[in-house]
Chain A
Amino acid sequence: MSTPNAPVTDEKSAPRSNPFRSFNFSTRFWVSLVIVVAVVVLGLAGFLYPTGSGEKVGSLYDAPGGGLPLGTDNFGHDVLAVLMAGTRTSLIIGLVAGTIATAIGVAVGLVAGFVGGWLEEVLMGITNVVLAIPSIIVLILISISLPQSSIWSLAVVIGITAWPWTARAVRAQASSVATREHIDVARLSGARLPSILLVDVLPYILSYAVMAFVLQVSGAILAESALSMLGLGPSGTDSLGTQLHWALAFQAVATGAWWAFLPPTIVLTLVSFGFLLLQASLDEVFNPRLRRGKKKQMKQAAARRAKEAAALAAGEQAPAAGADPRPVPTSAGGAA
């Protein structure tokens, strides 16, 4: 996937003094939120759906119909049931791995950016080295060394390989914050490093941490499905990736059994798109330089201004209320 490995803006944009003051939720934000919620609902709906994902309800690639909205897969299981279970699995892996990766990334970035000096050099060096090695390769190597993979082992493995770009972004923010005056005041007052980091620095970094978490979850879900398609997925469990894996192995595409591979493909696409859109719209909330104004409101304002200017030019409009009617006093001697 070509998800940018960092938030879509420059890392060094200035942190806002109070990120929560002027929330400006655009259409984009609501659309992305709807997509994300829909996916979560799909996963949870599996608990209510009558058929289990392991029940054999038909034969190889039965087309949709007769009580099976999405037909059967290569095992004869209900595709919709498998889809729901798979979505749930993928979401769990995404959340766990995302949390781990964000936690490590924020911690490393905070310490590196705030403490600075040689510690920063070392941490950033390690980060860059880990970043340079393609994560899929590390994931493959680790996975083939493990005798068996479960949801949790996968999540942990993904989490400990995905943190570097977050560390880089957070470090850039932390080091710009570290030079601000009130941090020095906190230092002078005797507060110790961990409490300074938590109480003063973290709120500034919060917006970045939130955006990073969103991208990490999405990235983890996609990493898991990539591994599953290579045959390294969680054994004994359905995930979106394993569903696709079996579809490819049993030639679903070539035989035209679209119900076997299109649903997981669509869900995966929605997951990555929805989360990325969410992150981009959060970015606009936190970073005003990216905002491009609401069209309708700007049009109305422009029309209003044009009217006002025309009136002024025609000399009709009196000076705005509150203007001082007294002539501007000049000191004795007169102006040039």
Chain B
Amino acid sequence: MSHATTPPAPASAGTKDRSGLLARVTDVRSVYGGGEQDFTAVDGVSLELGEGEILGLAGESGCGKTTLGNTLAMIAAPPLYVLSGTLEIDDEVIDLSTLSPADVKRHRPYRGSTVSMLPQGAMNAISPTVRIRSLVHDVMRAHRTGVSKDEALDRARDRLKMLEMPVRVLDSYAHQLSGGMKQRVITVISTLLDPRLLIADEPTSALDVSSQRMLVEMLLAMVEQRIMSGVVFVTHDLPVLSQVSDKLAIMNAGSIVEMGPTRQLVEDPQHPYTKKLLSSVLDPTAETRERGRDRARGGAPAPAPSTEEAR
């Protein structure tokens, strides 16, 4: 197994292949340590993602989807240990295994620039004593040595304008922004270096409906504009995925039980667990919606036409 150690070349627009494979993940095994026994959270997962593709990673709490996301974003740290796994991206094979602080250090150049993370709940993701513009500068100079504050801010401003966000958030502190705005600012920071792959971990779970929609539209726009080439969207919220993702992977107890194009998986699930998961998400059919409207108007629901009446 080759261990790539050279940092990736900075992403440059225009050289990305629109079709074809973006990333291949092979045999990821992650465990939680800390007691007598380690707990296996991800048990031999492999998947592939194409250019411009959004992969939805769904499952119930505790299935390992967040752990898999953390593993791919290379932010695993004790008590989470990655025993095995590789990520092939841009002709580079990255060893995802993380057993010691040295491994954590080895992954640093990739974090935020090759693979980036959009964390769950941006509420505390920004230090309360740091202005957004300082954070922006710190992220940039961690990967491009010698970049000046002005250069970093210019890039951030351009990005904010492109995504129709107010430029003055750069001068703000975290406590001056609303929840939804914080989430979008985090999204901008996470993608500032044009990562090839973005792992979004429950990005919409803490938001209200309109903020959710804004965020999803923003992500789609960014994929469209090739800011990032692929997204892994981790969530338990299946309805959101059915609208956003191209491909869907269902996880249970550390393994992927079924994976395929979203529409087909939703309409024609194969695996019994997938079927169970989908059915538990109540998606009102047209008929039920009708009944609901009648009830709201105050009348009794119209009985289904009997065979006698239909004659």
Contacts and interface: CB of A to CB of B under 8 A. Distances in A.
Interface of A: 293, 301-302, 304-306, 308-309, 312-313, 319-320, 323-324, 328-336
Contacts of B83: 305, 308-309, 312
Given A328-B257, A336-B247, A305 B44 contact: no
B259 A309 contact: no
Q: Nearest 7 CB-CB pairs, A to B? A: A331-B260, A331-B264, A312-B84, A336-B50, A329-B270, A330-B260, A309-B83
Contacts of B259: 328, 330, 335
B244 interface: no
A302 B43 contact: no
A76 to B, nearest CB: 61
B202 interface: no
A319 B83 CA distance: 12
20 contacts: A301-B38, A302-B100, A305-B33, A305-B81, A305-B83, A308-B83, A312-B27, A319-B44, A320-B40, A320-B43, A329-B258, A330-B259, A330-B270, A331-B258, A331-B270, A332-B268, A333-B264, A335-B260, A335-B261, A336-B53
Contact of A302 (B1, B29, B99, B255): B99
Interface of B: prevailing SS: strand
Most chain B beta-carbon neighbours within 10 Å: one of A304, A313, A332, A335: A335
B190 interface: no
Given A305-B33, A305-B99, A313 B261 contact: no
B215 interface: no
Interface of A: prevailing SS: loop
Interface of B: 1, 21, 27, 29, 31, 33-34, 38, 40, 43-44, 48, 50, 53, 81, 83-84, 97, 99-100, 246-247, 255-261, 264-265, 268-271
Given A333-B261, A335-B247, A336-B50, A312 B268 contact: no
A311 B48 CA distance: 24
B257 A324 contact: yes
Given A323-B43, A331-B265, A335-B48, A312 B255 contact: no
Contacts, number: 75
A301 B99 CA distance: 11
A301 B48 CA distance: 32
Given A301-B34, A309-B83, A328-B257, A319 B268 contact: no
A304 B83 CA distance: 11
Contacts of B256: 328
A317 to B, nearest CB: 9
B255 A306 contact: no
B48 A336 contact: yes
A336 B268 CA distance: 18
B148 to A, nearest CB: 36
A319 B44 CA distance: 7
B44 A309 contact: no
Contacts of A313: 1, 84, 97
B109 to A, nearest CB: 22
A230 B291 CA distance: 84
B302 to A, nearest CB: 36
Contacts of B44: 319-320, 323
A312 B29 contact: yes
A331 B99 contact: no
Nearest to B257: A328
Given A323-B255, A329-B270, 15 more contacts: A293-B34, A306-B99, A309-B99, A312-B27, A323-B43, A324-B255, A329-B258, A330-B259, A331-B264, A332-B264, A332-B268, A333-B261, A335-B259, A336-B48, A336-B53
Contacts of A330: 258-260, 270
Most chain B beta-carbon neighbours within 10 Å: one of A305, A306, A313, A324: A305
A309 B44 CA distance: 12
Contacts of B268: 331-332
Nearest to A301: B33
A312 B260 CA distance: 27
A10 to B, nearest CB: 13
Contacts of B264: 331-333
A336 B99 CA distance: 32
Most chain A beta-carbon neighbours within 10 Å: one of B29, B40, B256, B269: B29
Nearest to A308: B83
A328 B258 contact: yes
Contacts of B269: 331
Most chain B beta-carbon neighbours within 10 Å: one of A293, A320, A329: A329
Most chain B beta-carbon neighbours within 10 Å: one of A323, A328, A331, A334: A331
